[in-house]
Amino acid sequence: MTSTTATVHKAKKHDSGIKHVSGRARYIDDMPEPAGTLHVVPGLATIASGQIKSIDLDPVKQAPGVVAVLTRDHIRGANDTSPAGTGDDPVFAENVVTFHGQALFAVVATNRLAARKAARLAKVVYEADEAPLISVADARKVGSEVLETYQFLRGEPIEAIKAAPHRLKSEMKIGGQEHFYLEGQIAMAIPGEDGDMTVLSSTQHPTEVQHVVAHVLHVPQHAVTVETRRMGGGFGGKESQASQWAAISALAAQVTGKACKLRLDRDDDMIMTGKRHDFEVGFEAGFDENGRLIAVDTDLASRCGHSADLSLGVNDRAMFHSDNAYFYPDVRIKSHRLRTNTVSATAFRGFGGPQGVLFAERMMDEIAIETGLDPLDVRRANFYGQDSRNVTPFGMIIEDNIIDDLVTQLEKTSHYRDRRSEIEAFNKTSRFLKKGIALTPVKFGIAFTLNHLNQAGALVHVYTDGSVYLTHAGTEMGQGLYIKVAQVVAEEFGIDLDKVKIGATVTDKVPNTGPTAASSGSDLNGMAAKAAADQIKARMRVFVAERFQAQQDDVVFADNKVSVGESSMNFSDLAQEMHLDRISLSASGFYRTPKVSWNRDEVKGRPFFYFSYGAACSEVQIDTMTGEMKVAAVDILHDVGKSLNPAVDIGQIEGGFVQGMGWLTTEELVWDDQGRLRTHAPSTYKIPCASDVPEHFVTNLYESSGNREDTIYRSKAVGEPPLMHGISVFSAIYHAIASIKPGTKPQLDAPATPEAILSAIASLEPS
Amino acid sequence: MLHELCFRLNDEIITLTDFGPTDTLLDFIRERKNLSGTKEGCNEGDCGACTIAMGELEDGELVYRPVNACIQLLGMAHGRHMITVDHLSKEGGALHPVQDAMARHHGSQCGFCTPGIVMSLYCLHEDRKDPPTRETVNTWLAGNLCRCTGYRPIIDAAMESCFGPIVPSNHPSGEMGAIDSSQSLFVGNDDAFFAAPATLKDALELYAKHPDSTPVAGATDVGLWVTKRLDELPKILHLGRIQGFSDIVVNTDGLTMGAGVTYEAALSHLADIDPDIAELILRIGSRQVRASGTIGGNIANGSPIGDTPPLLIVLEAAVELQSVDNKRSMPIEEFFIEYGKQDRNAGELLTSIQIPALQREEHLRCGKITKRFDQDISAVMAAFKFTLEGERIAAARIAYGGMAGTPKRANHAEQLLQGVSISDEVAWLPAITALSDDFAPMSDMRASASYRMTAAQNLLRKALLEIGGTSSSATRVTATRPDDLEAAE
């Protein structure tokens, strides 16, 4: 590892920062439209479950501006957009409707408003099922599952709980979450010659969009090129969920021969695309008088919606993180994946992990009430050990545990203990308002648990003027991946950052990629880009060593020069001279994450390369008359190894925290008993706004010598883990409520809306 | 009578006759002018990605306010200067200070909300009326959702740039005079038109001729009928340019507001009545919504969850309605007949609202329950006015929104409070309990029926506690009343 760096580990601005603030960053809807571009709008099912008896599209076809109405009959290939090709996510529903808002057809018209109006004119006759399965409870009652139940088991948890000196049994509901990326789903398909199709897609997974489009159009993958320059937010909502809109726009282009653009209206987007899984968790635990766990038995049931989508991975990750930072000696973690007549739940930052972690933290809070101990002491009593008590419920040994030191630092800098005493005193005398505080840890496993996704590629060209073009498998959704990887390349070549051009992510430049997900973007693509740069550098070393009669190993890349000993030449001159000497200045790099393995059937292996750690301390105040809540202060300490870009990382941590806080406080998804989503716009679905963030909001990076694993410049992944810092707010609310009647456990469900808080207060008194 | 829409967009004077009555300003900017800096996030005025600066001549100077272009009807731009983000800096040129601060503070991640945020901050930078505080910034940003950053760097950028040196802005105030905004505007024909009468007489005559036209003030509600319900509204009667329609007259008896007074313009006058009203107004919509939306519109649309009607009911406000040949006035509560039905006849416009002054012995409180404090629609909205004679409640007026099909008074509770001591908590109980006789609220996505009832009862209790002497610093997690704040410090 280099001791000093010129570009990495520096707080560089987002590569598009200036373009963002000046309105010149182009999103797909801002791209100039080819002449004659048509606009596509889907038609939605108006029942949640049942048969389509008949469908009359004549009024749609006759509406002004309509060019074509697409149905299943237009599809030459497969009527499927599912990520794994399982056939349960149709482009257009055939005969059967499985959720309210499912696409039945699509209108292609000369303008978007005409298409929107026409899409509402279809006359569909349904035979609706009387009782669609909407909630987890509905599905459990009839045993409706989308995937098989799966479990981790170690020891004899049931017996151990029975024999434990202290026991608790509890349950909680955890709500889902709408991504609310500010740029909604969009794709524009441009037909080419020989049936080729270029698709501009706002997706985290261009390769999957390519595969789905090829599959639907019935063309080889080489005929489809998918390009993603930037997304206006993703958060997991454009991992599998972008494919359908790309496929429909491509189908429209195939049918009409014109460029076709599909941009979902916000309400349709919220109705038609998947969200975070909501969970119902039941658990039992046995523990000693110090609050240390003896055994845990937990039952996680999630609403997966009408299809599998990514539910296997999401629910597995909920299980992988049900321990959070705690050692469970004897343990059973059981996961039920329920099929309901709701939109298919999908990836969302944390990918099931947050639900598992929330369960663990709730258990700690309840043990604290049962034992009368400070919840932080209970947490600490259960932290994973260094050399013992260090094996997860799925058998992986934790080798990089820093949680105790990290929490100790935050405990000190946040003045947790003093503030907790002050709060206890305040609550004794305050009749209507109660305060709460909580310090909660996060441990999060880094790697895709589906092993083949742990790979990435990059393409690097050096041009003869010394400027560099970079493109890689990862997509930019605002998380700063492009600038981080560019920093790596600039560092490697020893050139200024502005010499590196960051190209859009395109499937014909870097093929066969995985999604930009699982926080893995900079780990994978940083390494792949370095691998590409290394190849070019190796050729440069040979050339320079020969030129100056020196050793290749002594060649240094720095300050826009390539030097050896006293001799040096400009990087640009070197490029020019190598070109004249007929040496390639282009390379593709490839990276596969080492060490990871996971055998799901045998519950065996090492699913994660390493773990990321962090902790947050939040203070809240609640109004016991109305349930209103205000966050008073937040302190965060988070481990990103040696940060590639501290400004970008702090932005991810702060933004992740606020998104997690929103998930657990103001953001409530409501479906009615007919399966209609009632919160399908920002007027009814409330993500945090500026005033929800407290003035005291302090975020620090944990100082260390870096990732113990050999990652890119010893950095750590950052995208998902900080979302779980929002749990500190939920836990603080729990503390505030519990202070009303010490010794009694409130029944607080998430999100902690004013209504949920008031209901939890009421739960303190026997009814 | 003018038959051509005329306004200024950035540097360009736009004159138009070929536009639809319900065309939106955002679609015009993006699709007809190909100015792609302004984004569409939600198309309903809630996310702020489409925020632009709307300049209006006031005493010869252009005053700029942020508005949501997605729910502004294009015709409403007449006589105004619209600035989009594209105008703030030239490619490769110097950034405006708010843009520069946003970039330096890492205030953008995905960047999609950023142009809207920049425009809100630009307007704040121009405004200079509010104190240079974090609260001011939060208020100006309440209508701009960001899903990436967590707002901290945006607030830092705002604190640094919005209150700094004024940048010469070269607002074309003088040139705007060339646009004739004194005459009535009528673009279209008898079957489809956008009309913006300049006088009440013109408006009433047009409405009499076209009783099927749609009166629009700020379009913060009607805009959604267009963008979401896709209503065909061929005849738009815009009330925003009627002379005198936005006047506010204050005298010792109280104040009279024209129906076209925006929330923003009403704010300082209503705040003089009681600080709770200021708090309430600041929680209606966002800065963008309050710059367009009107008190008159909030009444006239008859929504059961409008925030101002319960307040105006307890204040004993009256509304005036006019048609070509008639003028009448009624207590505001009588205006709301039932859900979806108001006492407004064909051809009649709500023209003004009279609000009596609060007497010394009268005490007011408001309470609004939402999932999010800023820019959220009420689950329950409550307003209370108690007239005290010493310790004794001589009279009580209590009204709620969100508890019935209309904004409605709590008659049973009011009666049971009469004669009760303001300091006797036990004596209030019958009145608090009686709210369940007054209301049978419903369950929906904002709250359950039982929560609505509990919250309504506790808001009444809280109002009684506070008026009885309990400091609001001990009863509220936010918006402590200024007097109580001083006492607490």
Side chain identity at B257, as an amino acid letter? M
Instruction: Please check whether residue A251 is in contact with residue A282, taking contact to mean a CB–CB distance below 8 angstroms.
Output: no
Of B7, B10, B34, nearest to B194 by C-alpha is B7
- What are the chain B neighbours of A16 within 8 Å (beta carbons)? 108, 111
User: Catalytic: which of A33, A720, A755, A765?
Assistant: A720
- DSSP H or E segment with residue A174: strand A166-174
Residue of A nearest to B22 (CA): A113
pLDDT at A404 over 60: yes
Residue B11 touches partner A, C-beta closer than 8 Å: no
C-alpha dihedral (A703, A705, A711, A717), degrees to nearest 10: -10
Of A389, A368, A390, A386, nearest to A377 by C-alpha is A368
Q: Give the confidence band of B165 by pLDDT, cuts at 50, 70, 90.
A: confident
Residue of A nearest to B113 (CA): A182
- DSSP H or E segment with residue B122: helix B114-127
Mean pLDDT of the region A263-286: 98
Predicted TM-score of the model (pTM)? 0.98
pLDDT at A676 over 90: yes
pLDDT at A84 over 70: yes
What is the C-alpha to C-alpha distance for residues B277 and B267, in angstroms, rounded to an integer? 8
Residue to mutate among A204, A691, A725, A729, with most B CBs inside 10 A, is: A691
Angstroms from B72 CA to nearest CA on chain A: 16
- Mean of the per-residue pLDDT values for chain B? 96
Residues linked to residue A500 through DSSP beta bridges, in sequence order: A468
Known active-site residue A720? yes
Q: Give the confidence band of B438 by pLDDT, cuts at 50, 70, 90.
A: very high
Record: contact B95-A755, CB cut-off 8 A:
no
Question: What would the pLDDT profile of A97-108 be if each residue is shown by its tens digit?
Answer: 999 999 999 999
Instruction: Please check whether residue A23 is in contact with residue B89, taking contact to mean a CB–CB distance below 8 angstroms.
Output: no
For helices A206-217 and A243-256, the axis angle rounded to 10 degrees is 40
- Please name the member of B154, B445, B459 whose beta carbon is closest to the beta carbon of A684: B445
What is the C-alpha to C-alpha distance for residues A668 and B328, in angstroms, rounded to an integer? 44
Token look-up 């967009």 returns: B9
pLDDT at B170 over 80: no
- What are the chain B neighbours of A690 within 8 Å (beta carbons)? 137-138, 141-142, 144, 151, 154-155, 374
Record: contact A21-B445, CB cut-off 8 A:
no
- What are the chain B neighbours of A21 within 8 Å (beta carbons)? 95, 99-100, 102-103, 107-108, 114-115, 118
- What are the chain B neighbours of A759 within 8 Å (beta carbons)? 451
Residue of B nearest to A621 (CA): B477
Phi-psi region of A440 (alpha: psi -120 to 50; beta: other; left: phi over 0): beta
The sign of the dihedral angle between the CA atoms of A567, A570, A572, A573 is negative
Lowest mean pLDDT among A6-10, A614-618, B56-60, B247-251: B56-60
Instruction: Please check whether residue B432 is in contact with residue B421, taking contact to mean a CB–CB distance below 8 angstroms.
Output: no
Residue to mutate among B106, B228, B288, with most A CBs inside 10 A, is: B106
Residue B109 touches partner A, C-beta closer than 8 Å: yes
Record: contact B230-A117, CB cut-off 8 A:
yes
What is the C-alpha to C-alpha distance for residues A460 and A502, in angstroms, rounded to an integer? 10
- Please name the member of B99, B109, B118 whose beta carbon is closest to the beta carbon of A651: B109
What is the C-alpha to C-alpha distance for residues B415 and B268, in angstroms, rounded to an integer? 33
What is the C-alpha to C-alpha distance for residues A456 and A505, in angstroms, rounded to an integer? 12
- Mean of the per-residue pLDDT values for chain A? 97
- What are the chain B neighbours of A670 within 8 Å (beta carbons)? 445
Instruction: Please check whether residue A720 is in contact with residue A519, taking contact to mean a CB–CB distance below 8 angstroms.
Output: yes
Q: Give the confidence band of A2 by pLDDT, cuts at 50, 70, 90.
A: very low
Q: What letter would DSSP give residue A611?
A: E
> Which B positions 430-449 lie with beta carbon below 8 A of chain A?
444-448
- What are the chain B neighbours of A656 within 8 Å (beta carbons)? 150
What is the C-alpha to C-alpha distance for residues A576 and A465, in angstroms, rounded to an integer? 7
- What are the chain B neighbours of A231 within 8 Å (beta carbons)? 110
Angstroms from A525 CA to nearest CA on chain B: 19
Report residue A428: phi and psi, to 5°.
-65, -35
List the structure tokens of A340: 């309901």
List the structure tokens of A624: 């016991």
Q: How many CA atoms lie within 13 A of A211 on its CB side?
A: 16
Q: What domains can you pick out in chain A, each with its CATH number? A: 33-130+180-272 (3.90.1170.50), 349-448+610-762 (3.30.365.10), 455-592 (3.30.365.10)
Lowest mean pLDDT among A474-483, A611-620, B57-66, B282-291: B57-66
What is the C-alpha to C-alpha distance for residues A167 and A180, in angstroms, rounded to an integer? 40
- Please name the member of B46, B144, B150 whose beta carbon is closest to the beta carbon of A683: B46
pLDDT at A520 over 60: yes
Q: Give the confidence band of A3 by pLDDT, cuts at 50, 70, 90.
A: low
pLDDT at A298 over 60: yes
- Please name the member of A232, A267, A479 whose beta carbon is closest to the beta carbon of B112: A232
Q: What is the ipTM of this complex?
A: 0.98
Question: What would the pLDDT profile of B108-155 be if each residue is shown by its tens digit?
Answer: 999 999 999 999 999 999 999 999 999 999 999 999 999 999 999 999
Record: contact B459-A14, CB cut-off 8 A:
no
Residue of B nearest to A179 (CA): B147
Size of interface A-B (CB pairs under 8 A): 263
- What are the chain B neighbours of A625 within 8 Å (beta carbons)? 458-459, 461-462, 475
> Which B positions 49-88 lie with beta carbon below 8 A of chain A?
49, 84-86, 88
Question: What would the pLDDT profile of B325-358 be if each residue is shown by its tens digit?
Answer: 999 999 999 999 999 999 999 999 999 999 999 9
Mean pLDDT of the region B448-455: 98
Instruction: Please check whether residue A516 is in contact with residue A233, taking contact to mean a CB–CB distance below 8 angstroms.
Output: no
Angstroms from A357 CA to nearest CA on chain B: 21
Angstroms from B218 CA to nearest CA on chain A: 17
Question: What would the pLDDT profile of A677-705 be if each residue is shown by its tens digit?
Answer: 999 999 999 999 999 999 999 999 999 99
Q: Can you tell me whether residue A242 is helix, strand or coil?
A: coil
- Please name the member of B30, B41, B153 whose beta carbon is closest to the beta carbon of A182: B41
If 0-12 CB within 10 Å is exposed, 13-18 middle and 19+ buried, where does residue B76 land? buried
Q: What letter would DSSP give residue A168?
A: E
Question: What would the pLDDT profile of A449-505 be if each residue is shown by its tens digit?
Answer: 999 999 999 999 999 999 999 999 999 999 999 999 999 999 999 999 999 999 999
Angstroms from B287 CA to nearest CA on chain A: 13
Question: What would the pLDDT profile of A250-261 be if each residue is shown by its tens digit?
Answer: 999 999 999 999
Give the number of other Cβ atoms within 10 Å of residue A126's Cβ. 16
pLDDT of A67: 98
Angstroms from B445 CA to nearest CA on chain A: 6
Residue B230 touches partner A, C-beta closer than 8 Å: yes
